[in-house]
Structure 1
Amino acid sequence: MSQLDLFTPALTDGELPPVALTPEIESLLAKNAPVAIGVSGGKDSGAAVWAVVNHLNQIGHTGPRLLIHADLGRIEWADSLPICQQLADLFGLELVVVRRPAGGMVERWMSRWDGNCTRYADLACVKLIMPWSSPANRFCTSELKTAIISRELTRRFPGQRIVSVSGIRRQESSKRAQKPICSEQARLTVKTLGTSGVDWNAIIEWKLDHVWNCHKWHNLPIHEAYSTYNMTRVSCCFCIMSSLPDLLRSAGCEANQDVYRELVDLEIASTYAFHEDTWLGDVAPHLLTDEQRTALSGAKYAARRRELAESRIPEHLLFTEGWPTRMPTYDEAVLLAEVRQEVADTVGLTIGFTDPASILQRYAELMAERAEKQFLADWTEAKRELKALNKRLKEAYEEANQTV
């Protein structure tokens, strides 16, 4: 049974809500600002395309319109890009596909792991850092979607204020429930190109039944993740935000199974579970080789050893925003040396700073570097404030002279 079969329409045709609007959005659309609708292949972005294009047609908007898709590489569902193209063809719009030059999501996680191992070896972090993004650190969205999309839009529309549309809805999560209809998108502000722009959550008030009714009534293309695999959402085929049932369903798609095994290999190498406390390797172990299943068991044991070792580090020695905040004592440096060596042996890393003397020296270097950076930042901020104050004084002086 598919997601569509599970839903029985409760509305009649014509009862879809209007797009959510603010005075800022209405003003920009009235001025024919360029509108770019982000599409992923999922149900919400498809509904957003219909709703926004329908509204633009109703108000006589004649500015540029396009669909834009951030391709995340091998971790994408095979059907995602075709669905985006079908939407573009259906509405007669250009589909712009953008990609991170350094590779997709899998490459980003792998390079992050390599970088984190180097950081740990150099004592640039006191605890080993996992390769994966997380709900609290969704660099997957900011780096591989928002940044890449914004870069393309500012290149395409120099000198303009751009409207970037997303299909997020309040009903999806408590965090999205707090999202505004419209907000400034800092990445669309490029002084050299004269651009600025806003994010517009056009269907933020829509409910799930509105989305599915929109697809049914207007014959919008349906992703195979819903129709064939009964997924509840479409993003990466294996997403750090997915539910366990969705991960299992995705693993049932043969086209996703090579990347599944690749991600399990990274779990094994890093000793970090992909999905909070859920090991991706436990989702579909029958898809793994005997060697992978054995290695995964060893990785779980190594993870417990690593966590136990790092739990010995006093909280005041942990880094804050990437920097130490206080020097360890000699005895604490001895402890750090023991912990670092145990973690390195457990994970299979070659590291430096494994004796108390070198650790104390490294902490001193980092604290001095942090103090220097903070001084420069404070100095820059002071100069900015002084410049602003001088400007206000000059304006006040000129105003006083005009009054006289």
Structure 2
Amino acid sequence: MSPALARGFLAAPDDPLPAIDDRVIAAARRGAWFAFNLSGGKDSTASAHAAIALLDALGHPRDRRIAIHADLGRAEWRSTPAMVAAIADRLGIPMLVVSRSAGDMVSRWEQRFLSGKHRYEALETYNLIGPWSSASLRFCTSELKVQVIGPELARRYRGETVVSVIGLRRDESPSRRSTPVSRVDERFAKLGNAAGTRMLSWHPAVDWSADDVFGIHERHGLPLHEAYVQYRTTRLSCAFCVLASAHDLAASAAAPGNFDLYRHLVAIEADSTFSFQPQRWLADVSPQWLSAGLLHEVTRAKLRAQDRRALEAAMPPQLRYVKGWPPRMPSLAEASLIAKARAPILAHHGLPDHFPDAAAVQARFADLLAVKAERSR
């Protein structure tokens, strides 16, 4: 579709062109289902608005469209569910809300640390693993959004072509600069492959800037989340995101609806001795909202975190985690260092020390290496 033709579909001449390719056009003309992924953020709203106008112009049936939202539970801004519902209403499409059956985002962090403690106690991990997500482990995107939305759409529209409309932009981050206009998504279509299910992802806003997105909201009267309007965050995500800037964390902490979540996450920092971000304790963002008791617990956690890092740094570096860990049997001296480093960390978290000396550590490594050899057969 030529840019000139596409521009004729837009309600305002100043609107940027939505990106579209032959694959999406063909799906629209065949009457595929279009699922608009709404987060409550500016990009998903503007993408959906522009995509709907383009689909109308292509003659796509309106009754083959749905909005879908993955609810992250307590990790969301309190206003997000109502905002998403208002956006879907404004766009004129029915709304479907899904969520992770095993618990919300906060539960995922809590479950990760509990699992990490159990694995550390069993000497299945070399270092204690903290609760939080990271740039490489984005549970919110992978487990609570993609892994929930994808299977739901594949089951619901078995045997159909389903196009997920997602508000990704290339200028958001270096990792998104290669985002295509569309792509075939085979991760979940296999759930209905026998029926001929086909799934695509479409990114209409891929070439837009943040100014483009805000301009669409202003010209078309689209609702904007309070995170942008009242608290001036630069992006919408979880109320407290492990990838957020100091500015956005402070803005979120200023919202009364986020106070309980803020205190709960700080309590997880205090209990786990792991800061919310690698170089920033969430407790330091807005300590005025914390009780004296919780502040005392955080101070103690910071000291224990320093101890933990020093203890783990003293462990033999040649035995640190690699794929297929453990790499080999530790020497008696190395096993002694491992036992010595683990003891205070286990004690900090009230965990029993099943491998208190070098002989016990070596025996445990022998078991682990035997299991590894058995799996490789």
Interval of TM-score (by shorter of Structure 1 and Structure 2): over 0.9
User: Secondary structure of 1:354's match?
Assistant: coil
User: Secondary structure of 2:288's match?
Assistant: helix
Structure 1: state its 5+ residue gaps: 1-11, 376-404
1:129-168 → structure 2 map (5 Å cutoff): 129-168=129-168
User: Secondary structure of 1:230's match?
Assistant: coil
Q: Are residues 1:264 and 2:266 paired?
A: yes
Q: Give the Cα–Cα distance (whole angstroms) in 2 for the partners of residues 230 and 238 of structure 1.
A: 14
- Provide the residue aligned with 2:48 in structure 1: 49
CA shift, 1:322, in A, is 5.9
Q: Give the Cα–Cα distance (whole angstroms) in 1 for the partners of residues 138 and 184 of structure 2.
A: 19
- Provide the residue aligned with 2:36 in structure 1: 37
CA shift, 1:278, in A, is 0.4
TM-score (norm 1): 0.86
- Deviation by residue 1:22-76 (Cα, 9 ceiling, x = unmatched): 3322222222211111111111111011011111111111272111100000111
- Provide the residue aligned with 2:112 in structure 1: 112
Q: Give the Cα–Cα distance (whole angstroms) in 1 for the partners of residues 113 and 160 of structure 2.
A: 39
Q: 1:291 aligns with which of 290, 293, 314?
A: 293
- Provide the residue aligned with 1:378 in structure 2: none
Give the structure with higher Rg (CA).
1
Q: 1:346 aligns with which of 345, 348, 353?
A: 348
- Provide the residue aligned with 2:359 in structure 1: 357
Matched length: 364
CA shift, 1:358, in A, is 2.2
Q: Give the Cα–Cα distance (whole angstroms) in 2 for the partners of residues 78 and 324 of structure 1.
A: 44
Q: Residue type matched to 1:127 in 2?
A: N
Bigger mean CA deviation after superposition, 279-288 or 63-72: 63-72
Bigger mean CA deviation after superposition, 188-197 or 130-139: 188-197
- Provide the residue aligned with 1:328 in structure 2: 330
- Provide the residue aligned with 2:95 in structure 1: 95
Q: Give the Cα–Cα distance (whole angstroms) in 1 for the partners of residues 255 and 67 of structure 2.
A: 27
CA shift, 1:163, in A, is 1.1
Distance 1:192 1:360, change over 3 A: farther
- Provide the residue aligned with 1:208 in structure 2: 210
User: Secondary structure of 2:83's match?
Assistant: helix
Q: Give the Cα–Cα distance (whole angstroms) in 1 for the partners of residues 180 and 164 of structure 2.
A: 14
TM-score (norm 2): 0.92
CA shift, 1:19, in A, is 1.9
Q: Give the Cα–Cα distance (whole angstroms) in 2 for the partners of residues 363 and 23 of structure 1.
A: 56
CA shift, 1:85, in A, is 1.1
Q: Residue type matched to 1:59 in 2?
A: L
Q: Is the 8 A contact 1:302 1:347 kept in 2?
A: no
- Provide the residue aligned with 1:169 in structure 2: 169
CA shift, 1:192, in A, is 4.8
CA shift, 1:112, in A, is 0.8
Identity %: 39
Q: Is the 8 A contact 2:151 2:191 kept in 1?
A: no
Q: Give the Cα–Cα distance (whole angstroms) in 1 for the partners of residues 326 and 140 of structure 2.
A: 26
Q: Are residues 1:123 and 2:123 paired?
A: yes
Q: Give the Cα–Cα distance (whole angstroms) in 1 for the partners of residues 109 and 175 of structure 2.
A: 24
CA shift, 1:222, in A, is 1.2
Q: Are residues 1:234 and 2:233 paired?
A: no
CA shift, 1:191, in A, is 4.1
Q: Are residues 1:60 and 2:62 paired?
A: no
Q: Residue type matched to 1:184 in 2?
A: V
- Deviation by residue 1:135-174 (Cα, 9 ceiling, x = unmatched): 1211221000000011210121001232112101111111
1:4-83 → structure 2 map (5 Å cutoff): 13-62=12-61, 64-83=64-83
- Provide the residue aligned with 1:222 in structure 2: 224
Q: 1:300 aligns with which of 275, 299, 302?
A: 302
Distance 1:292 1:200, change over 3 A: same
CA shift, 1:202, in A, is 1.6
Q: Give the Cα–Cα distance (whole angstroms) in 2 for the partners of residues 141 and 262 of structure 1.
A: 21
Q: Give the Cα–Cα distance (whole angstroms) in 1 for the partners of residues 110 and 226 of structure 2.
A: 28
Q: Give the Cα–Cα distance (whole angstroms) in 2 for the partners of residues 327 and 199 of structure 1.
A: 47
Q: Give the Cα–Cα distance (whole angstroms) in 2 for the partners of residues 121 and 322 of structure 1.
A: 19
CA shift, 1:206, in A, is 0.6
Aligned-residue Cα RMSD (Å) equals: 1.6
Q: Residue type matched to 1:209 in 2?
A: D
Distance 1:59 1:315, change over 3 A: same
Q: Is the 8 A contact 2:120 2:126 kept in 1?
A: yes
User: Secondary structure of 1:186's match?
Assistant: coil
CA shift, 1:82, in A, is 1.4
- Provide the residue aligned with 2:283 in structure 1: 281
